[in-house]
Amino acid sequence: MRELELYFGPQHLGMVGNFSITLKVEGDRILEAQANPGYLHRGFEKLMEYRTWIQNFPMVCRINVVEPDSMEMIYAMAVEKLAGIEVPERANYVRSIYLELARVGSHLFGLWAYANMLGFDTVAQWAMYHRDLVLDLFEELTGGRVYHIYIWPGGVRRDFPPGFKEKVVNTLHSIGGCVPDYDATFFNNRLFYERANGIGKITQEQAKQWGATGQTLRATGMPYDIRKAEPYAAYDKVDWDVPTREDGDAYSRVWVIRDEMIESVHMIFKLLDVMPEGSVYNRVPNPFKWKIPKGEAYVRCESSRGELGLYMVSNGDDKPYRVHFRTPSYPNGLIILEKLLKNASIADVGNIMISLYVVAPEIDR
Amino acid sequence: MNNSLRQKLEATFKDIQVSIPEDSKITITAESDSVPAILRFLKDAGFDHLALLSAVDWIEDDCFELCFILTSYMQNDDEVTGRQRLHIILKTRIPREKPQFKTVIGIFPNAEPYEREIHELFGINFEGHPRLTPLLLEREYEIPPFRKDFDTRKYVKDLFDNIPFVEIEEK
């Protein structure tokens, strides 16, 4: 049969996001795949070298459109580590609750993308609606729906408004009440099982070799989670589990995402119960006049996709000397995707890509 | 564990400096020739996750610094130990004139896109890399854009100010 080159994305119905894959196909079978990132390269890391420490705060969250909150967290963590800023106890709890809400919102968005791509439109609309409820919470807490700029060095920008705790509980209960519906129509649906089972299979050894973290690794049976491995914020204050699966295929990855959402909701309830009173912000010196001591730091946190790291170098100036983000989609989209697409069929390209949870803006930065 | 690893490293490799700035962090500075051997040693010692490969342009010292950040996956499937907290930063300096470095794909296959990105943004050539093709950028640049002597603001001014104005006629 004749060999053809096929451009999959960025203008393609099966492609979600600004990303493209060049496929070499023979009939329906893919011989070779090449991932092409860069459609959303804005050069953030270079632009950050031109801006003062505090001016970078509204910028970092824009790196990942789907989940900006972990980006804020990691930048705040790096600045706090380099400058030696302390965070009050209550702020740690507020940060954890906020990041878990962001995880639920991000997973619902991911569920929308996946269900939509597979043709489960009803489930996709439900997920989008429920994500909107989470965004309403963010709007009340921070004033912004998508970009919040809420976590600052020294704490968070403001405390919970009156009645916010009850609203979080009510919203999460109403989302949680729909889990049986989600299960019946999507996760336990035979159509979905047939479509996702055995697709994009990866072994634990391969996952380790290719630098996978997050769901891709946890779906192969390793409960590796930065929140457990190197606890930050208040994740070591409450008891929670890391959901895993054994098979390493698309079906397992989606189930890990589902279980993680439920675990996050339980974690938020637990954190709300034990949250101490007090201030959420330590007064820091005037941020417009910051000069951060010379040094380097690598900090990491668990974003909704895996290990999110930040390597930051300061040369004692009022601007960062070098920043480099280690984003979880980077190995997923540039290595694992290429390897898994070999010998797959064209109909499964979008399926494999979204089950790996690839988010293009995170790769391009 | 930090100190025993430090002793082992210092016993095996002669020309390296090991420091422990914090409890869960080890910084190693080494000559560029011995980096592959050190990476292999660390991988065998259980640091099997190359989290990040980064480069810094120290223009005043006239060199680039490559920075490998290593952490470890879990060994037994069900428990987190102090080992997962630990991360190692391995740094090496290479001259700014004709920057060359040997690829580490043979040791850590996931270094491939990182090396490609550093080649594109810093102009560091990785010998033995199978495809050093452009990754993120769209245009050709005289100076690789992440080097410190590349002025983003000047570049933007030069590029966009040269576009002539378009006269729109009134109807």
Which residues of chain B neighbour A221 with C-beta distances below 8 Å? 77
Q: Among B54, B109, B145, whose Cβ lies nearest the Cβ of A46?
A: B145
Strands annotated E in A221-294: none
Whose structure tokens read 């790769």? A363
- Chain A CB within 8 Å of residue B29 CB: no
- For residues A132 and A134, give the distance between their C-alpha atoms in angstroms, rounded to a whole number: 5
- Distances in whole angstroms, Cα of residue B39 to Cα of each of B31, B36, B91: 12, 5, 11
- Give the architecture (CATH level 2) of B2-161: 2-Layer Sandwich (3.30)
- Chain A CB within 8 Å of residue B20 CB: no
- This prediction's pTM: 0.88
Q: In the predicted model, what is the mean pLDDT of residues B138-152?
A: 85
Burial of A340 (0-12, 13-18, 19+ CB in 10 A): buried
Lowest mean pLDDT among A55-64, A248-257, B2-11, B23-32: B2-11
Whose structure tokens read 């990785």? B126
Is the domain A53-360 a CATH 1.10.645.10 member? yes
pLDDT tens-digit map of B77-124 = 567 777 777 888 988 988 888 888 888 888 888 888 999 899 988 888
Which residues of chain A neighbour B134 with C-beta distances below 8 Å? 38
Query: Shortest CA distance to B31 belongs to which of B105, B103, B91?
Result: B91
pLDDT-derived band at B76, boundaries 50, 70, 90: low
Quote the pLDDT of residue A262.
92
Length of chain A: 365
- Chain B CB within 8 Å of residue A45 CB: yes
- Chain B CB within 8 Å of residue A287 CB: no
Q: Among B54, B110, B138, whose Cβ lies nearest the Cβ of A324?
A: B54
Quote the pLDDT of residue B1.
65
Counting one residue from chain A and one from chain B, the pairs whose CB atoms sit within 8 A come to: 87
- Mean pLDDT taken over chain A: 88
Which residues of chain B neighbour A334 with C-beta distances below 8 Å? 112-113
Q: In the predicted model, what is the mean pLDDT of residues B41-51?
A: 86
DSSP per-residue string spanning A320-339:
-SEEEEE-THHHIIIIIHHH
Among chain B residues, CA nearest to A230: B85
pLDDT tens-digit map of A6-53 = 888 787 776 777 888 889 998 888 988 888 888 888 888 888 888 888
- Chain B CB within 8 Å of residue A221 CB: yes
Q: In the predicted model, what is the mean pLDDT of residues A288-298?
A: 84
A229-235's contacts with Cβ under 8 Å and 24+ in sequence apart are A229/B80, A229/B84, A229/B85, A230/A300, A230/B24, A230/B84, A230/B85, A232/A73, A232/A77, A232/A301, A233/A73, A233/A92, A233/A93, A233/A95, A233/A96, A233/A99, A234/A92, A234/A93, A234/A95, A234/A96, A234/A271, A235/A96
Q: Among B50, B84, B137, whose Cβ lies nearest the Cβ of A230?
A: B84
- Show me where the domains of chain B are located: 2-161
Structure tokens, A289: 């006049």
- For residues A213 and A14, give the distance between their C-alpha atoms in angstroms, rounded to a whole number: 25
Quote the pLDDT of residue B162.
84
CA distance B170 to chain A (A): 36
Lowest mean pLDDT among A123-132, B7-16, B127-136, B147-156: B7-16
- For residues B95 and B100, give the distance between their C-alpha atoms in angstroms, rounded to a whole number: 8
Which residues of chain B neighbour A228 with C-beta distances below 8 Å? 80
- Chain B CB within 8 Å of residue A229 CB: yes
In chain B, residues 69-98 whose CB comes closer than 8 Å to chain A: 69, 71, 73-74, 77-78, 80, 84-85, 87, 89
- For residues A118 and A14, give the distance between their C-alpha atoms in angstroms, rounded to a whole number: 9
Lowest mean pLDDT among A112-116, A310-314, B19-23: B19-23
pLDDT tens-digit map of A67-96 = 888 888 999 988 888 888 888 888 999 999
Contact check, Cβ <8 Å, B69/A309: yes
Which residues of chain B neighbour A18 with C-beta distances below 8 Å? none
Query: Shortest CA distance to A316 belongs to which of A94, A145, A83?
Result: A83
Quote the pLDDT of residue B78.
65
Quote the pLDDT of residue B85.
79
Q: Among A38, A230, A331, whose Cβ lies nearest the Cβ of B137?
A: A38
- Show me where the domains of chain A are located: 53-360
Q: In the predicted model, what is the mean pLDDT of residues A274-278?
A: 87
Contact check, Cβ <8 Å, A311/B69: yes
- Chain A CB within 8 Å of residue B138 CB: yes
pLDDT tens-digit map of A162-183 = 889 899 999 999 998 989 999 9
